[in-house]
Amino acid sequence: MLGGSEQNALLTTGATKSFLAGEHLVQEGDQRDEVYLLTSGFAKIFGNSYDGREVLLSIRTAGDLIGELAALDGEPRSATVTAATPVETRWYTAETFHALLRQHPPLGQAVQRYVTRKFRMATRHRIDVGGASVRVRLARVLDRLGRSHGRATPSGIRIEVPLSQVELAALVGAAEPSVHRALTGLRQRGIVVTGYKHTLISDPAALAAEAGEAP
């Protein structure tokens, strides 16, 4: 996500726009090029596979930009973005966004770093979910979600973004039955607790060890 000073520069212009859970911010293939800065809530990034399935690609939260690529290169939207929870945003036309980048060179540099970081994270994700067992891949995805979208509670780290098992399987890059079995194993060992569209990491150190990362 963008840093506080960059967010403040964006918050001085644009307009407020709210979305209910389930509403689309942008849709894949659309020619519109407005940009959104998420100020609260969670959004999910979906892409369509060759067989027509909608696949969860990533998650965005407060401080993240939505739609900046279409504004920067003029190409159609590359993915669909849907509010996972009620979402608040600031939104900008492409013209306004470009004017902001020209008027505030540090903001332009920050956006460039932000876009680069997103591509690096996407590459890291592909490496993490490739080659390892489903158990390890699941642990890596949950560990990352806990670090980036988790809230500390007395019982552990609660992943704040609501995820179905189908969506979790898409992030892991494995079939849903395989992810279900791996998730059952983590539950039986007391590492995670799951409910309807929520996950609690009850033993973060054990999950990090399972993921092959230092606690």
Question: Domain holding 198: CATH number?
Answer: 1.10.10.10
Based on the domain organization, do 123 and 139 belong to the same domain? no
Mean pLDDT of 168-191: 92
Backbone angles phi, psi at 18, to 5 degrees: -110, 150
Average pLDDT of the chain, as a whole number = 87
Say whether both 195 and 157 belong to one domain. yes
- Is residue 55 included in any domain, yes or no? yes
Total domain count, the chain: 2
Whether residue 27 lies inside any domain: the answer is: yes
141 plus 100 within the same structural domain: no
Q: Is residue 33 part of a domain?
A: yes
Based on the domain organization, do 55 and 122 belong to the same domain? yes
| Share of residues in the chain with pLDDT > 70 (%) | 92
Q: Which of 43-52, 67-76, 113-122, 178-187 has the lowest mean pLDDT?
A: 43-52
Tokens of 129: 């979910």
Q: Do 202 and 191 form a contact (C-beta atoms < 8 A)?
A: yes
Q: Do 13 and 87 share a domain, yes or no?
A: yes
On the question of pLDDT at 27 being above 60, the answer is yes
**Percent of the chain predicted with pLDDT > 90:** 47
What's the confidence (pLDDT) of residue 78?
Answer: 86
Domain extent for 164 = 134-210
CB of 65 closer than 8 Å to CB of 118: no
**Nearest 5 degrees, angle CA 66-CA 123-CA 61?**
30
Residue ending a domain, choose from 105, 128, 151: 128
Q: Are residues 124 and 146 in the same domain?
A: no
83-127 confidence digits (pLDDT tens)? 999 999 999 999 999 998 888 888 888 888 888 888 887 777 777
Over residues 65-84, the mean pLDDT reads: 89
For residue 4, give both structure tokens.
């506080």
Domain membership flag for residue 167: yes
Same domain for 10 and 115?
Answer: yes
Q: Are 124 and 33 in a shared domain? A: yes
27-35: average pLDDT: 89
Average pLDDT over residues 50-61: 80
- Which of 186, 152, 181, 151 minimizes the C-alpha distance to 169? 181
Structure tokens at 208: 């990090």
Residue 215 lies in a domain: no
Phi and psi, residue 210, nearest 5°: -65, -35
pLDDT at residue number 173: 84
- Whether 120 and 146 share a structural domain: no
Q: Of 128, 143, 168, which residue sits at a domain end?
A: 128
Question: pLDDT of 124-166, one tens digit each?
Answer: 777 766 667 899 999 999 999 999 889 999 999 999 888 888 8
Instruction: Tell me the average pLDDT across 181-186.
Output: 94
User: Quick one: 107 and 192 in the same domain?
Assistant: no
Please report which confidence band the pLDDT of residue 24 belongs to, taking 50, 70 and 90 as the band edges: very high
Structure tokens at 92: 């900008």
What does the pLDDT read at residue 193?
Answer: 93
Closest among 89, 48, 86, 90 to 162, alpha carbons compared: 86
pLDDT at 28 over 70: yes
Q: What's the predicted TM-score (pTM) here?
A: 0.80
Q: Same domain for 18 and 117? A: yes
Does one domain contain both 86 and 167? no
